Amino acid sequence: MARRPIWKGQIRLSLVSIPVEIFPATKSTATISFHQIHEPSGKRIRYEKVAPGIGPVDKDEIVKGFETSKGNYVLLTDEEMEDVKLETLKTLELVQFVDQAEIPPLYYDKPYYVVPQDELAEDAFRVVRDALKQAKKSGLGQMTMRGKEYLVSVRPYGTGLLLETLHYADEIQKADALFSDIPKGQTEEELLAVASELIERKSSKFEATNFKNHYTAALRALIDEKRKTGSVSDPDEGADAKDEKPEKSNVIDLMASLKKSLEGAKGREAGETPAAKPKATKPKAKPATRKRKSA
């Protein structure tokens, strides 16, 4: 099935307008989602939209409301909201350009791929892409998508463009109140040297495929097992060892820990990240999964 764009419009640079399509760059299917189930019957829990004193209401009777005071709302229909004309509804104008490293990481929200709509738009698209690549800049602008106006950055990515929605300044929590409790002081040079060498030994090019979501994989394995057997095996092996609590220590030899880590890194290729394997535990015994009854 062909992927459908979530936004179609134009990127405008001065007097040049380029018809483009925007697609999500991430997917939700990579994670596991759950439904709430009524265990005795095996039926899924559903939620109804209700009004106090009235009960369930039809979705055609629901409008959006902005609360002006307790219990008082200004009501807006979808048609009224769509009539609010914004230039950014179908046009993303690049109004400023900044160095790609200049935008603090915490401002980034969600990535999207940008491609030209058709062959007629390809030449202008390539010009803007290559100019951004040569200048090592990101273009900033605003666009309206799904009923909300976003601040966005646009930069080259492969043969296309990567658009990333950004948080507005008033959406960012200030860190001063949290960081002010961290005592100021100088790091011991010897400790810093060992930590720096450890970082250097483990430095390499970023490869996202080196990292796997072990928790999701373990959940999928558990789900597959329960689908096959309808039950789970005996309690965890080594339960006796779990009862033995390690002695607590308030003293941590930071230098010894760093040096031990450094020794472990020697002989290993720089940046090699051993995959953290999930513990091979067996789930506790429970009754067989109840089959869902027909409605």
The domain segmentation of the chain, as residue ranges, is 7-26+83-170, 187-235+271-289
* pLDDT of residue 232 exceeding 80: no
Task: Report, at the CATH architecture level, how domain 7-26+83-170 is classified.
Answer: Beta Barrel (2.40)
Residue 85, pLDDT score: 62
Residue 287, pLDDT score: 47
Listed range (98-102, 173-177, 186-190, 273-277) with the worst mean pLDDT: 273-277
Residue 211, pLDDT score: 82
Residue 227, pLDDT score: 78
CB environment 99-130: b (16+ within 10 A), e (fewer):
eeeebeeebeeeebbbebbeeebeebbeebbe
In this structure, are strands 7-13 and 72-76 parallel, antiparallel, or unpaired?
unpaired
**44 φψ region: left (φ > 0), alpha (ψ -120 to 50), beta (else):** beta
pLDDT, one tens digit per residue, over 85-136 is: 666 778 999 999 999 999 999 999 999 999 999 999 999 999 999 999 999 9
On average, the pLDDT of the chain sits at 81
pLDDT, one tens digit per residue, over 236-280 is: 444 444 455 555 444 457 777 777 777 776 656 545 555 444 554
* pLDDT of residue 282 exceeding 80: no
DSSP assignment of 256-282 = HHHHHHHHHHTTSPTT-----PPP---
DSSP 156: E
Cut 0.75: pTM above it: no
More confident residue, 145 or 116: 116
DSSP 255: H
Q: Residue 140's beta-bridge partner residues?
A: 96, 153
